[in-house]
Amino acid sequence: MKTPRPGGIEQGVSPSPNRTGAEPLGAHHWRSLEELQGSIEFQKALEREFPAGAAELADGLDRRSFIQLLGASLAASALGGCTSAPAERILPYTHQPPGLTPGNPLHFATALSLGGRAVGVLATSWEGRPTKLEGNPLHPSSQGSAGVFEQAALLQLYDPQRARLVKHRGVPVAWKTFLTELSRRLPQMRRSNGAGLRFLLEPTASPVLTDLETRIQQAFPASRFYHYEPLSDDNGRRGTQIAFGQALEPQWDFSRAEVVVSLEADFLASSGPHLRSTRAFAQRRDPGQPMNRLYVVESNLSITGTIADHRLRLPPSEIQTFALELLAEVGRQPGLGFLLGTFQGAGPPGGGAHAKWARALAADLFRHRGRSLVLAGPGQPPVVHGVAHAINAFLGNIGQTVQFIRALETAGDSGVASLSALADDIKALRVDTLVISARNPVYTAPGDLDFSSKLALVPNSIYHGLYEDETWRYAAWGIPAAHPLETWSDARGHDGTISILQPLIAPLFNGIPELELIASFLGVVDKSAHQILQEFWIGRAPGGDFESRWDQWLASGLIPASAAPVVSATIRLDAVAAAIQAAVKSRRAPAKHSNALEIAFCADYKVYDGRFANNAWLQELPDPITNLTWDNAALLSPATATRLELKRGDVVSIEYRGRRIEAPILVLPGHADEVISLPLGYGRTGAESVARDVGFNAFVLRDSSAPWFDKGVTVTKQKRTHPLAITHDHWSMEGRELAIEDNVQHFQQHPGELDEHRGPVEALYQVTYDKENYQWAMAVDLSRCTGCSACVVACQAENNIPVVGKQQVLKSREMHWLRIDRYFTGSLEEPGVITQPVACVHCEAAPCEYVCPVNATVHSDEGLNEMVYNRCVGTRYCSNNCPYKVRRFNYLHYTQQTPSSERMLMNPDVTVRARGVMEKCTYCVQRIERARIHSRIEGRAIRDGELTTACAQACPAQALTFGTLSDASSVVARLHRDRRRYDLLHELGTRPRTAYLIRIKNPNPELA
């Protein structure tokens, strides 16, 4: 392939112990343990080209019998072809809604909440059917991008398994029956001041809902509201209480932070203002300007951990010690000596096990004082948050890289502590009527609370839920909830910006809006959610004509200048010191047990806390770190797995505090030793069939006294094994140089090393595609990509990509046009990680095109590698000849069984493919053609930025860029000229139109 040369380009980063300088660049990237160890199964899987059984149909028909049947079916289809096409009807409106043009979609702004904070979205609506959700560029929490959960909310809207009927003890009744029953009881409740009345809601900062809460508490002074979300950041709020004496919410500004230290804070993924953080963080990953540097201290490998410049593996319980060590080191910096006295004995005497790390971090932080940032994750105890705030305060970061707003919720705890308080309330038989609109607390409650039997003690429990899930089963009343896209409400973003939520569609399954349910306790039964919301806002709209203001709020998706004001925060040294003293004193001595591990719980990147478990898009999305689909697995480090003689797929029994579950093992390089991480959200037992029997339920082991991590868990190997559908061994590119990374110092000195991966290639027959007005192209910046997978879901929604199920994924038949390859580099224990989105790269000299016998894949004059479904006969030659392995074949008619409600979700601009057809990324050609027609009608060219693909649109890191190379000033053309640009498999001479920019890391030389 090439002559080996000394010194790999990425030598500065995570040098592999096995690697010699003579190996080709990138050759030591590995995708899984099995590949690294050269396991026989992996070799066999590679040699087979397609996995075992790929030639068989689902019903066990082999190829020979298929051909026998083929003759008969051919004759039958010839006869069938004689009939004419079925008659089609066109059904026009009686009154066409104003502003609507059939055939052209409309866009509406609304917002979706997770963890009580909203992200603004724009919904694409075709004649009343929402088909795509994108971020609202005006909304500060979104800035135009949307994460996997926001985008997949659409599939949830159309989910035919959503609850449809109001039920009383399992018997369907009318909504009116509930209201009548309630009105019969209300006078009694009023007399008793609502003594037995309790509400359990999601944490929310919604102004209208908060107002309803206040009004109910005025009407029923003895009633109480609890808020619960299993992954709530109570620790963070308590941390601000320690550090500043008040409940505050931090507003990080990663665009100004040059050194970031994360103490198990996964700030680039899943929760909190991660879209906003990712955007700002990624902008500082370009070596063209001063790069930021990220240190991550964590136990489980997280998305944030994969992009870190330095990562320290520690069990979660040790992170507190490290934080104190870091604080002590910061105190040793010149000018901060006064701290030493205050925090005497905070860190381990004489420096702990990670003294080198702490020293280097402290020095780096101090060098960048005022431009650095330390943050702690929700799983870490409040004192760690307090320490992080203290370090920020000493370094002068407050007001620079982090500011504070007052906590948007007035309610206090909204995590496990809050649910425990409610459980105690119920146990004391103080609860007569319990209204639950928090998502599925019976399932998400820690195992020791035994919430289902608690619920049985409540005479009148009312559950307002999207599904007939676990909680529905135990509640006396089940009320189907309206989806957030079906109802009016309001919500606040992470900086407090208020959005008005508007419905995109009338409730599909008779869902009742949360506002109407809560308001019915005030005796309001004749008002719609819309009226309740408008009546609330009509008195609060600042000045002027309400109607026009309201319309403006709806159009922009937010209320202008409604962000919460920044408050000044002064660190309370003595309080932090006292908290540290208390924490150090109360640290339990680790229980000595031969097999005892530390247990840690984590949010799942795909189903969050289980609320998205019935969402097939998310179930089939490969986990960004493990690439696991349709399952969760207990995660262990390679060393621990070796010690316990466990390997991937082995089922273990996990025992903790007398509770026990069985779970399959997944060995994850980079995981902390002697810790077992359990992703939450699986093992559901509700009525939803997609979620049922997928994975194991880790909430059973969760304990209300230690909801995030604890010691003393016993792991015993079982005889059974469990197949895990992991996509990372599929489509392997045989260890060639694909994902390239370098460190900034080396790259600045040797920019020419990339030249062998780019530039013109010799060819006998040169074809060019530069005659046309547009030359479509894409650039993928690996420095920015975090692997969050928002692009994959965006592509799925935009291009009608089917979900195939676990059995098909096991046969490598997943259909995602865009996949994110995740490579490990370096050692098993301390691997580097690099993520690389790969879709069709639209080669100018495309190998697939030469081999198609029916011209079903051809090149357009603008450089697109086109796939013509109606010509394709399914030989799969193109896929065989594709060096990038980006073509996907419809082995079965995956879309045939799409439920009728989910058919409404299909993008009408994209063909729904049938069995026997090859498909792949089209660069969203439907968007190109729409933009072309639009611009040509207006008699102008398509402007740069006017048109982008679904993946690039969704990307919070702006790692993907789409545009035309013909305009030299376009962003994509500039990136194609970037000195970091390289081509994937350049030596093959395919001349791909998708260029990659190498990942640059910015390691600290002191830690090299």
Partner 1 sequence: MSALFPRSANTVLRVVVVVLLATPLLAVGALYVYAYSPLYTSQYSQVAQVIQFDHRHHVSDDGIDCRYCHRSVETSPFAGIPSTSVCLSCHEQIWNRSPLLEELRARYFTDRAIPWARVHRLPDFVYFNHSIHVNKGIGCATCHGRVDEMALVEQVAPLTMGWCLDCHRDPATHLRPVQEITNMTWEPRGDRDQVARELMRQNQVHTRTNCTTCHR
- Name the site residues for partner 1 (rule: CB under 8 A): 84-85, 87-96, 101-104, 858, 860-862, 864, 866, 868-870, 909-912, 922, 925-926, 928-929, 933, 936-937, 939
Question: Which residue, 772 or 987, has its beta carbon nearer to partner 1?
Answer: 772
Instruction: State the minimum distance, in angstroms, from the CB of residue 94 to partner 1.
Output: 5
**811: which strand partners?**
none
Question: What residue ranges in 489-648 does DSSP mark as E strands?
Answer: 489-492, 498-501, 566-567, 596-602, 628-629, 634-636
Query: From CA 813, how far away is CA 298, in angstroms rounded?
Result: 34
Task: Record the tokens describing residue 762, joined without a space.
Answer: 């010799």
Question: Which residue, 522 or 910, has its beta carbon nearer to partner 1?
Answer: 910
Question: Which residue, 703 or 909, has its beta carbon nearer to partner 1?
Answer: 909
Instruction: State the minimum distance, in angstroms, from the CB of residue 72 to partner 1.
Output: 20
Check: CB of residue 508 under 8 Å from CB of residue 486.
Answer: yes
Check: CB of residue 227 under 8 Å from CB of residue 418.
Answer: yes
Instruction: State the minimum distance, in angstroms, from the CB of residue 928 to partner 1.
Output: 8
Question: Which residue, 581 or 911, has its beta carbon nearer to partner 1?
Answer: 911
Please choose, from the candidates 264, 387, 391, the residue with its C-alpha nearest in 3D space to the C-alpha of residue 319: 264
Task: Quote the DSSP letter at residue 30.
Answer: B
Q: List Cβ neighbours of 366 (8 Å cut-off, separation of 6 or more).
A: 330, 333, 334, 336, 395
Instruction: State the minimum distance, in angstroms, from the CB of residue 925 to partner 1.
Output: 4
Question: Which residue, 535 or 861, has its beta carbon nearer to partner 1?
Answer: 861
Question: Which residue, 95 or 169, has its beta carbon nearer to partner 1?
Answer: 95
Please choose, from the candidates 721, 611, 826, the residue with its C-alpha nearest in 3D space to the C-alpha of residue 155: 611
State which H helix or E strand residue 311 sits in. strand 310-313
Instruction: State the minimum distance, in angstroms, from the CB of residue 882 to partner 1.
Output: 18
Question: Which residue, 43 or 101, has its beta carbon nearer to partner 1?
Answer: 101
Instruction: State the minimum distance, in angstroms, from the CB of residue 101 to partner 1.
Output: 5
Instruction: State the minimum distance, in angstroms, from the CB of residue 852 to partner 1.
Output: 12
Instruction: State the minimum distance, in angstroms, from the CB of residue 893 to partner 1.
Output: 15
Please choose, from the candidates 187, 175, 191, 118, the residue with its C-alpha nearest in 3D space to the C-alpha of residue 502: 118
Query: From CA 927, how far away is CA 484, in angstroms rounded?
Result: 27
Question: Which residue, 455 or 886, has its beta carbon nearer to partner 1?
Answer: 886
**298: which strand partners?**
313
Cα–Cα distances in angstroms (integers) from residue 134 to residues 129, 131, 240, 766, in the given order = 15, 10, 33, 40
Instruction: State the minimum distance, in angstroms, from the CB of residue 953 to partner 1.
Output: 18
Helix 207-219 × helix 529-538 angle, to 10°: 90
Question: Which residue, 112 or 905, has its beta carbon nearer to partner 1?
Answer: 905
Instruction: State the minimum distance, in angstroms, from the CB of residue 905 to partner 1.
Output: 17
Per the listing, tokens 């020293």 go with 359
Q: What angle do CA 901, 905, 908 make, to 5 degrees?
A: 125
Using a CB cutoff of 8 Å and minimum separation of 24, what contacts does 855-861 make?
A: 856/918, 857/918, 859/767, 859/769, 860/769, 861/769, 861/771, 861/772
Task: Record the tokens describing residue 545, joined without a space.
Answer: 């004509």
How far, in whole angstroms, is CA 662 from its chain's centroid?
26
Instruction: State the minimum distance, in angstroms, from the CB of residue 88 to partner 1.
Output: 4
Question: Which residue, 223 or 865, has its beta carbon nearer to partner 1?
Answer: 865
Instruction: State the minimum distance, in angstroms, from the CB of residue 946 to partner 1.
Output: 17
Check: CB of residue 222 under 8 Å from CB of residue 193.
Answer: yes
Instruction: State the minimum distance, in angstroms, from the CB of residue 913 to partner 1.
Output: 9
Phi-psi map region of 53: left, alpha, beta (phi>0 left; psi -120 to 50 alpha):
left
Task: Quote the DSSP letter at residue 1001.
Answer: E
Question: Which residue, 94 or 689, has its beta carbon nearer to partner 1?
Answer: 94
Question: Which residue, 278 or 890, has its beta carbon nearer to partner 1?
Answer: 890
Q: What is the largest CA-CA distance in the chain?
A: 93
Question: Which residue, 89 or 191, has its beta carbon nearer to partner 1?
Answer: 89
Task: Quote the DSSP letter at residue 512.
Answer: B
Q: In this structure, are strands 293-298 and 477-480 parallel, antiparallel, or unpaired?
A: unpaired
Radius of gyration of the chain from its Cα atoms, rounded to whole angstroms: 29
Query: From CA 43, how far away is CA 770, in angstroms rounded?
Result: 42
Query: From CA 461, how far away is CA 169, in angstroms rounded?
Result: 10
Question: Which residue, 576 or 867, has its beta carbon nearer to partner 1?
Answer: 867
Question: Which residue, 89 or 719, has its beta carbon nearer to partner 1?
Answer: 89
Q: What angle do CA 15, 19, 21 make, to 5 degrees?
A: 95
Question: Which residue, 475 or 841, has its beta carbon nearer to partner 1?
Answer: 841
Check: CB of residue 649 under 8 Å from CB of residue 730.
Answer: no
Query: From CA 216, how far away is CA 229, in angstroms rounded?
Result: 22
Read out DSSP for 404-436?
A: EEE-S-SS---SHHHHHHHHHHHHTT--SEEEE
Instruction: State the minimum distance, in angstroms, from the CB of residue 57 to partner 1.
Output: 24
Exposed e or buried b per residue across 871-880, where buried means at least 16 C-beta atoms within 10 angstroms of its C-beta: ebeebbbbbe
Question: Which residue, 59 or 938, has its beta carbon nearer to partner 1?
Answer: 938
Instruction: State the minimum distance, in angstroms, from the CB of residue 937 to partner 1.
Output: 5
Cα–Cα distances in angstroms (integers) from residue 919 to residues 49, 815, 891, 924, 928, in the given order = 18, 9, 11, 12, 18
Instruction: State the minimum distance, in angstroms, from the CB of residue 95 to partner 1.
Output: 5
Instruction: State the minimum distance, in angstroms, from the CB of residue 769 to partner 1.
Output: 11
Question: Which residue, 531 or 926, has its beta carbon nearer to partner 1?
Answer: 926
Please choose, from the candidates 103, 101, 97, 106, the residue with its C-alpha nearest in 3D space to the C-alpha of residue 124: 106
Instruction: State the minimum distance, in angstroms, from the CB of residue 506 to partner 1.
Output: 15
